């Protein structure tokens, strides 16, 4: 056998197209996509043959059946989205790696409506002239937060950058050493300040910062007093930080604006539900802080966005910063944000309907019921050993790092499988389930699992235990 004989054995496209596997595929799938796979796989074979040496000609096998299967499998992969839903059994409510906040159906439908048609995004229907995209939500945000003015950018990181650049460019911003935060994904306050052309003036020590530290650091270059919410850590023990009110007074006395990066945007008091250390947005506005920013998809429970609120003279200036154009949000985000904020007009509606709020405030009795129901759904599966245990879930998203929420979880063992193997198999099956491991045990936390996901969880276990065959 030589190379040209091998080349001649490569199946003809017509033969591939007439193969019964291909015909089956084509009943429900696209011919054009199949052609892409035919080109790709046949090219791979030609390249393989090209690379063969005299010694391994004879080992190279060209089998039409195998090649057709490979082509059809490759083509089927194009049908599958890489970005897909997963079931969150981690108990972390705002899980950044799993997409943070989920939106409810009403919100998703509103996004669908706005995204699938033309809209008045930047068009004033009364005057027929150009409008502003922020007009649709500004009043609503102001009403809910008590702020004078509001705007929205792509995420809170962009908000921080825009605010620093607008209010403190070519000058200094004073911040406490205890608040030089790094958020997951390497967003670091000092680095962002550099990018915003702002000089960082650090005051105090890691554990203690006094009002006089800020006061002594003020010079004629000082443009901003910055407070950063230590979202994802707490400094404990011998500590002192300057209260918002004192910082606001210092700012007023020296005619320097105070900006607080709040991280999470909590719109109502959660202390009825658990010991909350997160201030509400309204309380921060009331304390007189000039500018505040927070994320749309943390405790607010909306889409990814950065919400900026504050005194009109500062927010207006930001609207005309060129960075605003680069950071501007899409109509899908605006639609989701508007409906999310609207749901907060009736706080009881928000608690019931906004998934993040619902998962944070769910009654422990409801979690137990969910655990019992899921146990029931799974209990028939062979080789599966399940126990309901009490445990703790986390808020996540860098919010309230010390708060633990009482929860119930299923502790699941499978014969001949280690907890890590269970976790990996569930992650990689057709409908991925993500759990957590604690004390060498695999757990599914019911706080973040919805009842309508129970059947998919059952399918996932059947798939990993029986290799996809139904019991």
Ligand X SMILES: *Cc1c(COP(=O)(O)O)cnc(C)c1O
| Spatial separation of the C-alpha atoms in residues 384 and 382, rounded to whole Å | 5
Q: Which of 263, 303, 310, 396 binds ligand X (CB under 6 A)?
A: 263
Beta bridge partners of 407: 391
- CB nearer to ligand X: pick between 137 and 465: 137
CB of 460 to ligand X, least distance (A): 30
- CB nearer to ligand X: pick between 306 and 310: 306
Q: Which of 95, 227, 229, 351 binds ligand X (CB under 6 A)?
A: 229
Contact 340, 347 (CB under 8 A): no
Q: Is 187 in the site for ligand X (CB under 6 A)?
A: yes
- CB nearer to ligand X: pick between 119 and 287: 287
Question: Residue 426 has which token pair?
Answer: 């569930």
Q: Is 261 in the site for ligand X (CB under 6 A)?
A: yes
Q: Which of residues 288-307 bind ligand X (CB under 6 A)?
A: 295, 306
| Spatial separation of the C-alpha atoms in residues 197 and 315, rounded to whole Å | 19
List Cα–Cα distances, 434 to 94, 97, 327, 426, in angstroms: 14, 11, 32, 7
Q: Which of 398, 409, 419, 447 binds ligand X (CB under 6 A)?
A: 398
Q: Which of 231, 241, 340, 393 binds ligand X (CB under 6 A)?
A: 231
Q: Is 181 in the site for ligand X (CB under 6 A)?
A: yes
* # of chain residues touching ligand X (CB under 6 A): 15
Contact 460, 431 (CB under 8 A): yes
| Spatial separation of the C-alpha atoms in residues 302 and 108, rounded to whole Å | 11
| Spatial separation of the C-alpha atoms in residues 352 and 110, rounded to whole Å | 18
Residue 270 neighbours by CB under 8 Å, 6+ apart: 276, 278, 360, 361
- CB nearer to ligand X: pick between 88 and 101: 101
- CB nearer to ligand X: pick between 228 and 339: 228
CB of 259 to ligand X, least distance (A): 12
Q: Give 90's DSSP letter.
A: S
Q: Is 155 in the site for ligand X (CB under 6 A)?
A: yes
| Spatial separation of the C-alpha atoms in residues 386 and 400, rounded to whole Å | 31
Contact 222, 254 (CB under 8 A): yes
Closest CB to ligand X: residue number: 263
Q: Which of 157, 248, 291, 449 binds ligand X (CB under 6 A)?
A: 157
- Per CB under 6 A, residues contacting ligand X are 155-157, 160, 181, 183, 187, 228-229, 231, 261, 263, 295, 306, 398
């Amino acid at each position: 056998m030589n190379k040209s004989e091998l080349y001649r054995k490569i199946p003809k496209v017509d033969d591939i197209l007439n193969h019964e596997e291909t015909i089956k595929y084509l009943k429900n799938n696209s011919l054009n996509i199949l052609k892409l796979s035919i080109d790709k796989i046949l090219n791979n074979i030609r390249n393989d043959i090209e690379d063969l040496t005299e010694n391994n000609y004879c080992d190279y096998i060209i089998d039409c059946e195998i090649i057709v299967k490979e082509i059809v499998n490759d083509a089927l992969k194009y049908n599958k989205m890489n970005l897909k839903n997963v079931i969150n059994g981690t108990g972390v409510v705002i899980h950044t790696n799993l997409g943070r906040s989920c939106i409810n159906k009403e919100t998703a439908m509103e996004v669908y409506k706005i995204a699938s048609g033309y809209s008045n995004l930047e068009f004033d229907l009364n005057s027929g002239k150009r409008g502003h995209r922020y007009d649709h939500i500004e009043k609503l945000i102001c009403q809910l937060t008590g702020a004078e003015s509001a705007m929205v950018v792509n995420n809170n990181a962009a908000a921080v950058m825009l605010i620093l650049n607008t209010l403190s460019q070519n000058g200094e911003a004073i911040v406490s050493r205890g608040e030089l935060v790094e958020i997951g994904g390497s967003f670091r306050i000092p680095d962002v300040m550099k990018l915003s052309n702002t000089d960082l003036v650090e005051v105090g020590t890691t554990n203690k910062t006094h009002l006089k530290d800020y006061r002594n650091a003020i010079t004629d270059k000082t443009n901003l007093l910055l407070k950063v919410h230590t979202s994802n850590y707490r400094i404990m023990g011998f500590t002192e930080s300057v209260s918002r009110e004192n910082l606001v007074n210092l700012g007023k006395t020296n005619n320097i604006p105070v900006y607080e990066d709040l991280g999470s945007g909590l719109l109502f008091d959660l202390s009825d539900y658990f010991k909350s250390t997160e201030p509400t947005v309204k309380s921060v506005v009331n304390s007189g802080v000039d500018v505040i920013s927070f994320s749309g998809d943390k405790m607010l429970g909306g889409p990814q966005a950065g919400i900026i609120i504050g005194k009109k003279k500062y927010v207006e200036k930001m609207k005309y910063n060129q960075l605003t154009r680069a950071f501007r949000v899409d109509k899908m985000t605006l639609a989701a944000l508007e409906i999310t904020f609207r749901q907060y007009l009736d706080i009881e509606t928000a608690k019931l309907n906004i998934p993040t709020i619902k998962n944070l405030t769910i009654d422990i009795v409801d979690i137990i019921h969910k655990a019992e129901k899921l146990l029931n759904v799974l209990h028939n599966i062979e080789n599966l050993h399940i126990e309901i245990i009490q445990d703790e879930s986390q808020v996540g998203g860098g919010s309230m790092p010390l708060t633990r929420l009482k929860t119930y979880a299923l502790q699941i063992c499978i014969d001949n499988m280690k907890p890590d193997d269970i976790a990996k198999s569930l992650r990689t099956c057709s409908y991925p389930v993500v759990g957590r491991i604690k004390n060498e045990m695999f757990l599914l936390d019911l706080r973040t699992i919805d009842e309508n996901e129970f059947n998919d969880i059952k399918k996932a276990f059947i798939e990993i235990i029986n290799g996809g065959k139904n019991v």
